[in-house]
Amino acid sequence: MPTPPRVLTVAGSDSGGGAGIQADLKTMLALGTHGMSVLTAVTAQNSLGVQGAWELPAEAVRAQFRSVVDDIGVQAVKTGMLSSPELVETVADLLAGLSAPVVVDPVGVSKHGDALLAASALDAVRTKLLPTATLATPNLDEVAQLTGVRVQEEADMRRAAVAVLGFGPRWALIKGGHLEGDAVDLLTDGAEEHWLRAPRHDNRHTHGTGCTLASAVAARLARGDTVPEAVAAAKEYVTGAIAGGFRLGAGIGPVDHGWRLRG
């Protein structure tokens, strides 16, 4: 049996299973790849929010990364919750030595509004992490946090993309899911543009959408897609996952990572 493409997620744990490492690994499996993980933090988290978070030491993050990469190897990497300047810089240094594509999801807050990135870490994200990225995937809140650009309407997304690309990623995907109307995203490398649109589903159970999208892109890149191909495929996958989002607990439930398996 052939070895499937190998994808590594460097992110935090969501004990409720809707986002973070758990969402990443489910997505990678659903898209035909072998998911591996470097745990950066442990959260106590459920459908109502984040009740606690504990960062792992940089030494533990570095050891996990080297253990996987030096023996098994990777064909794509996705980063998520990194929380502190030390972890951001540690991960950026590790990624700088890779030839595999890197998808950076600059996680700032949870779906419930809980802070997952220290304000003191923003500069490290801008100057250390984003330059390692093949693709950065900020949502509109993260764009404002990183660049100061506030997107009020679709026309503002170009300006946001220019600001993000100014920090060094080869491509930027500005996710416009918080705007009114269809769910529209802008993918650009500064030379070419791809506008991706999908109908907005009337479903409040959307926990894990950002993690899922970034992981889906990484999985498709590991399978050999170009960045535009990978993002289009990931958009289609996450749209179906949102449509299948289900209630879990008393708050916001997760998207359905296995929706294709039940189709």
Catalytic residues: 175, 206, 208-211
Sign of the four-CA dihedral 113, 116, 118, 121: negative
CA angle 213, 65, 107 (to 5 degrees): 35
Q: What is the largest CA-CA distance in the chain?
A: 50
What is the rounded (10 degree) CA torsion for 118, 120, 123, 125? -30
**Structure letter (DSSP) for residue 20:** H
Element (H, E) at 33: none
Task: Give every CB contact of residue 160 below 8 A, 6+ residues apart in sequence.
Answer: 140, 143, 147, 149, 151, 174, 186
Distance of CA 228 to the CA centre of its chain: 16
Q: From CA 205, how far away is CA 229, in angstroms rounded? A: 27
Span between the terminal Cα atoms of the chain, in Å: 26
Q: What element of type H or E holds 248? A: none
The set of long-range contacts for 151-156, using a CB threshold of 8 Å and a minimum separation of 24, is: 151/176, 151/179, 153/179, 154/179, 154/184
Give the strand pairing for 135-136 and 34-46: unpaired
